Amino acid sequence: MDQHIAETTGYHSAEWHAHGHHKESFVTKYIFSQDHKTIAKQFLITGIFWAFVGGILSSIFRLQLGFPDMSLEWLRPLLGGWITDAGKLDPEFYLALITMHGTIMVFFVLTAGLSGTFANFLIPLQIGARDMASGFLNMLSYWFFFASSVVMLCSFFLKTGPAAGGWVVYPPLSALPQALQGSGGGMTLWLVAMALFIISSLLGGINYITTIINLRTRGMTFARLPLTIWALLLTAVLGVLSFPVLFSAALLLIFDRSFGTSFYLSDIYIGGEALSNLGGSAILFQHLFWFLGHPEVYIVMLPGLGITSEIISTNSRKPIFGYRAMIGALLAIAILSFVVWAHHMFITGMNPFLGSIFMILTLIIAIPSAVKVFNYLATMWQGNIRFTPGMLFSIGLVSFFISGGLTGIFLGNAALDIPLHDTYFVVAHFHLVMASASFFGMLAGVYHWFPKMFGRMMDAKLGYLHFWLTFVGVYLVFFPMHYIGIAGFPRRYYSWTNFDVFNAFTDLNTFVTVAALAVMGAQLIFLFNFFYSIFRGRVAPPNPWRSNTLEWTTPLHPGHGNWPGAIPVVYRWPYDYSKPGAEEDFIPQYIPFSQTIESNLPHENELIALEEEEEGIVIDESSESH
Amino acid sequence: MFEVAIGLGVILVLVILMLLFRVQSLLNVARGSDKKIESTSNRVNGLLMLLFMIAGIVGFFWYSISEFDSYNLPNASEHGVITDRMFWITTVITGVVFILANVALFYFAFRYQYKDSRKALFYPDNHKLEIVWTVIPAIVLTLLVGYGLKVWTQITDDPPEDAEVVEIMGYQFAWKVRYPGKDGLLGGYDYRLIDPVNEFGVDFTDKASLDDFVPREIHVPKGKPVSLKIRARDVLHSVYLPHLRVKMDAVPGMPTRFWFVPTKSTAEMRQETGNPEFNYELACTEICGRGHFSMRLIMVVDEPEDYEAWYNSQETWLSQNPTYLSKVPENLQELAEAATGINIKN
């Protein structure tokens, strides 16, 4: 079979290395690169940087929650004036920590780091394209994200601190510097950073959609697309439709903050003075925010679901169960995600009738989610499962998706949301179903496609250790939070000792903090494995996971343009694993049915005639060569 | 000196770990064990899946059952009984799915781990199965939605006519409550009238405002509907009464409300919880700034007759702050004198 790859793609030919590519300077190759693979790595490494920043922020506030009496004096060299004279965390800085933790994790890590990495890396490689539709816009997309990162990072160094009104930045709190220090310069930088981020996200999204629609190789119909690509396509569509709404919400907030308008402000008396703003609606912002905010949850989630569909199928050596149902479920989730936003607002004073409508729509979304879970389980059933680190993280994702998804049925029910809203039950819910699941999708993807990214393997044993510590740790962090939430503990509390009703569970909170620090420590194993393997890992075989998709037909270190020879033609869907009659337990997408007579299904034999007809078509690719 | 020792120790540990890592990876290459798929690692991972599942389920049931009383807050309102019941019904239904789906996941992972001798089953779809597992969740969810809608509509319905009206206002970082007084009507307000004393911005040209009173604690009668009129003065806040399962945001510029029927007086709760210090507490659940975690207000649930007595013994706000009598227009001054017992002309 390897022989066949060599013939169709010709990547062993020595002459390819000699010509065809003009010499690139360091700057055009590694910094302002237009190669989708390099841009993907830039997104990934920036994403890893932000993940550690976000993780460290959460470690600091978990110390406050788990060890309220501990002296944090030793953090003074890092935090300076944010440690009070008593050696405690400043309560306002605590709010800044949770705000920036949320913002960074949701947007910079799980949107840019996840979609940015895998959409860029996988779309051209898996659909058989030389690069993105526009390499230049793609490069801009990364650099806007970089600029956004720089601005957001700068806000940590302001005297008044970064934004602190929660990652949802509800006005009036976020609009009034007199209400909260972080709502001064920190909030301004937050808004600027988010505006840049949205531009980055739109440039990327438009590119992904265009590329998937227009640049699929011959034979790569939509019904033969790997589920990763389906998921990334719908993610991009969600982003393109919803991020502009966040942009408008942010813009109106900028107007309210800086130009004296009253879109969100009304009837406010603060700091001993009555503001002149009248007629605005604080709820309007929440509607606009969650119109992005809810699809955003799926922007974060869908790539992970796509990645795991691919990895679970490959490593179970079985076709993904119900390929079409999986696409249908993705589509249903994507569409429904636009009509459920107000379930975040059941108790904001919104008309209860509206709450009823959103409750019905919200619970409908549980159905396609359930279908996805059952299909994953059916894929593993009677499989032949190989536990690669990627597979382990995929199994972890499915488990989180089940455990965290089910609590969504509580919160989507408006009547149950009354006691549960804004308690730790919500924190437990979304950290499992959205945050941890997506993180696991991202890690699964990194382990799985690392050999394609860097031509080397990550160490599997360290991967296993990383997985088990993280997986068990995440459950130990977030599962106890359900109990704390049922007991009614509110979110975003600096301390609970002011209330008799919340003055319990100190031991459980300490336990959660210890588990969280352990999870954080386990990520150092990953960090080491990642960077060590880039330089010193074992050289990867061409197709280490014996996978069907096209990226494994490229050379070990694909150049700009991906395939040195012609782009392979696709003849079949990507999930022909363990087909009865076939010698190997996988048949890659570029193998025509005419070569697999022994394993063809009846309707596939009919396609052979079509294949032969198409052989005659010659495509002139010279106009696209790079 | 001590720091140097720690630093050296850390470096030593890292070097040892690094060496161990190198040794194991070289051993792997020497043995060629990373080329095998049916390897010890694969079996260990499969076994760990099973162990994790068993430990997880045991831990889940053990903690849920043994700590039930510590995470299950006593309930003291009529609608709270209904939402609590719905909560536990939902917990049972989702709990069954939670266990079954996770067991299937980890058991399949263990049971179908890689064997060279076996080939996976080529099983791309089964329409009947897919329809079954789409329709069953759909039916269960429809039932849950129907149940939820009924309860939600009841809870958010208009308060009964005879409900006790209490106004509660959130501000950075406390709560204030105002009662309508003997006339049963809350006076109007305007945020532009707020000053350090008149914190509600009460409009004294409104007749209904003259007998309003502003106590330190919030009192409500047991067994009678109470309608909270909720507002905020500066940023968003949220009224949260954990024992009464009450929660509703307070929004500047947009009054909201929530009504409920308390079923246990403070004294009864002290007996039930065995805690003589017990008090109902009202907290804030919408991030509102530095003091968000300290917006505590004590609520007292009285027996109806005690409530009546307390209500009638309250002094009106105007009589506590007689300087504001000057804001009362001429035509209402007689009424104001009656309400406060103060002779304005003097």
Most A-contacting residue of B93, B155, B246, B290 (CB-CB within 10 A), to test interface: B290
Reported as a single tens digit per residue, the pLDDT across B222-279 is: 999 999 999 999 999 999 999 999 999 999 999 999 999 999 999 999 999 999 999 9
Q: Do B253 and A165 touch (CB under 8 A)?
A: no
Reported as a single tens digit per residue, the pLDDT across A433-444 is: 999 999 999 999
Q: Which residue of A has its CA nearest to B191?
A: A267
Minimal CA–CA distance to A486: which of A407, A431, A420?
A: A420
Reported as a single tens digit per residue, the pLDDT across A516-553 is: 999 999 999 999 999 999 999 999 999 999 999 999 99
| pLDDT at site A23 | 65
Q: pLDDT tier at A7 (50, 70, 90 boundaries)?
A: very low
Residue partners of A73: CB distance under 8 A and separation at least 6: A83, A87
Residue keyed to tokens 């109007």: B188
Q: Which residue of A has its CA nearest to B239?
A: A347
CA-to-CA distance for B210 and B322, rounded, in angstroms?
11
Q: Lowest mean pLDDT of A254-268, A598-612, B105-119, B288-302, name the range.
A: A598-612
| pLDDT at site A622 | 52
Segments making up each domain of chain B, as ranges: 164-340
Q: Do B137 and A416 touch (CB under 8 A)?
A: no
Q: In Å, how far is A66's CA from the nearest CA of chain B?
A: 16
* Torsion of the alpha carbons at A298, A302, A308 and A314, rounded to the nearest 10: 160
Residue partners of A215: CB distance under 8 A and separation at least 6: A124, A127, A129, A130, A133
Residue keyed to tokens 């705000």: A99
- pLDDT above 50: residue B28: yes
Minimal CA–CA distance to A169: which of A241, A306, A264?
A: A264
Q: In Å, how far is B72's CA from the nearest CA of chain A?
A: 6
Could you give phi then psi for residue A64, rounded to 5 degrees?
-60, -40
Q: Do B249 and A349 touch (CB under 8 A)?
A: yes
Minimal CA–CA distance to B115: which of B31, B50, B43, B29?
A: B43
Residues of chain B found within 8 Å of residue A462, distances taken between Cβ atoms: 21
Residues of chain A found within 8 Å of residue B97, distances taken between Cβ atoms: 402, 406
- Residues in a beta bridge with B302: B221
CA-to-CA distance for A258 and A175, rounded, in angstroms?
9
Most B-contacting residue of A348, A468, A577 (CB-CB within 10 A), to test interface: A348
Residue B322 tokens, joined: 């007689």
Per DSSP, the three-state class of B164 is: strand
Mean pLDDT of chain B: 92
Mean pLDDT of the B325-340 span: 85
Residue with the larger pLDDT of the pair A187 and A23: A187
Mean pLDDT of the A323-347 span: 94
**DSSP string over B270-289:** HHHHT-TT--EEEEE-S--S
- pLDDT above 60: residue A17: no
Reported as a single tens digit per residue, the pLDDT across A388-427 is: 999 999 999 999 999 999 999 999 999 999 999 999 999 9
CA-to-CA distance for A311 and A320, rounded, in angstroms?
10
Residues of chain A found within 8 Å of residue B172, distances taken between Cβ atoms: 179, 270
Most A-contacting residue of B236, B269, B270, B294 (CB-CB within 10 A), to test interface: B236
Residue B237 tokens, joined: 């806040």
Q: Do B292 and A280 touch (CB under 8 A)?
A: no
- pLDDT above 70: residue B345: no
Mean pLDDT of chain A: 91
Residues of chain B found within 8 Å of residue A392, distances taken between Cβ atoms: 45
Q: Which residue of B has its CA nearest to A486?
A: B71
Per DSSP, the three-state class of B191 is: helix
Q: Considering only the beta carbons, identify the residue of A179, A392, A460 that sits closest to B235.
A: A179
The crossing angle, in degrees rounded to 10, of helices A460-486 and B2-31 is 120
Q: pLDDT tier at A621 (50, 70, 90 boundaries)?
A: low
CA-to-CA distance for B150 and A414, rounded, in angstroms?
10
CA atoms within 13 A on the CB side of A556: 12
- Residues in a beta bridge with B170: B175, B232
CA-to-CA distance for B280 and B297, rounded, in angstroms?
9
Helix (H) or strand (E) holding B97: helix B78-111
Reported ipTM: the value is 0.94
Residue with the larger pLDDT of the pair B40 and A186: A186
Residues of chain B found within 8 Å of residue A407, distances taken between Cβ atoms: 94
Minimal CA–CA distance to A565: which of A541, A586, A590?
A: A590
Q: Do A383 and B145 touch (CB under 8 A)?
A: no
Q: For residue B163, count other CB atoms closer than 10 A to its CB.
A: 17
Q: Which residue of A has its CA nearest to B101?
A: A402
Q: In Å, how far is B187's CA from the nearest CA of chain A?
A: 17
Q: pLDDT tier at B21 (50, 70, 90 boundaries)?
A: confident
Q: Lowest mean pLDDT of A176-190, A504-518, B5-19, name the range.
A: B5-19
Minimal CA–CA distance to A587: which of A575, A601, A597?
A: A575
Q: Do A349 and B283 touch (CB under 8 A)?
A: no
CA-to-CA distance for A386 and A556, rounded, in angstroms?
23
Instruction: Read off the pTM.
Output: 0.93
Per DSSP, the three-state class of B217 is: coil
CA-to-CA distance for A79 and A93, rounded, in angstroms?
10
Residues of chain B found within 8 Å of residue A499, distances taken between Cβ atoms: 281, 283, 296
Q: Do B133 and A166 touch (CB under 8 A)?
A: no
- pLDDT above 70: residue A616: no
Q: Which residue of A has its CA nearest to B242?
A: A488
Most A-contacting residue of B13, B108, B192, B259 (CB-CB within 10 A), to test interface: B108
Cβ contact B201:B253 at 8 Å? no
Residue B94 tokens, joined: 């989702």
Q: Lowest mean pLDDT of A14-28, A188-202, B197-211, name the range.
A: A14-28
| pLDDT at site A16 | 44
Cβ contact B202:B265 at 8 Å? no
Q: Do A165 and B287 touch (CB under 8 A)?
A: yes
Minimal CA–CA distance to B169: which of B228, B243, B210, B224?
A: B228
Give the dihedral sign, CA B332/B338/B340/B345: positive
Q: pLDDT tier at B334 (50, 70, 90 boundaries)?
A: confident
- pLDDT above 90: residue A12: no
CATH fold for domain B164-340: Immunoglobulin-like (2.60.40)
Percent of chain A clearing pLDDT 90 (strictly above): 85
Per DSSP, the three-state class of A178 is: coil
Q: In Å, how far is A503's CA from the nearest CA of chain B?
A: 11
Q: Lowest mean pLDDT of A249-253, A373-377, A560-564, name the range.
A: A560-564
Q: Lowest mean pLDDT of A121-130, A180-189, B34-43, name the range.
A: B34-43
Q: Lowest mean pLDDT of A7-11, A219-223, A358-362, A504-508, name the range.
A: A7-11
Cβ contact A193:A122 at 8 Å? no
Residue B181 tokens, joined: 């007084």
Q: pLDDT tier at A201 (50, 70, 90 boundaries)?
A: very high
Residues of chain B found within 8 Å of residue A500, distances taken between Cβ atoms: 277-279, 281
Mean pLDDT of the B198-220 span: 93
The one-letter amino acid code at B72 reads N
Most A-contacting residue of B234, B266, B269, B294 (CB-CB within 10 A), to test interface: B234
What structural domains does chain A harbor? 2-18+31-536 (1.20.210.10), 565-624 (no CATH)
Q: Considering only the beta carbons, identify the residue of B37, B234, B236 that sits closest to A170.
A: B236
CA-to-CA distance for A320 and B65, rounded, in angstroms?
38
Q: Which residue of A has its CA nearest to B39?
A: A386
Q: Do B112 and A490 touch (CB under 8 A)?
A: no
Instruction: Give chain B's length.
Output: 346
Helix (H) or strand (E) holding A402: helix A389-411
CA-to-CA distance for A199 and A502, rounded, in angstroms?
43
Mean pLDDT of the B79-84 span: 95
- The verdict on whether omega for the bond into residue B87 sits within 30 degrees of 0, i.e. cis, is no
Q: Lowest mean pLDDT of A6-10, A202-206, A284-288, B94-98, name the range.
A: A6-10
Q: Do B122 and A387 touch (CB under 8 A)?
A: no
Q: Do B123 and A318 touch (CB under 8 A)?
A: yes
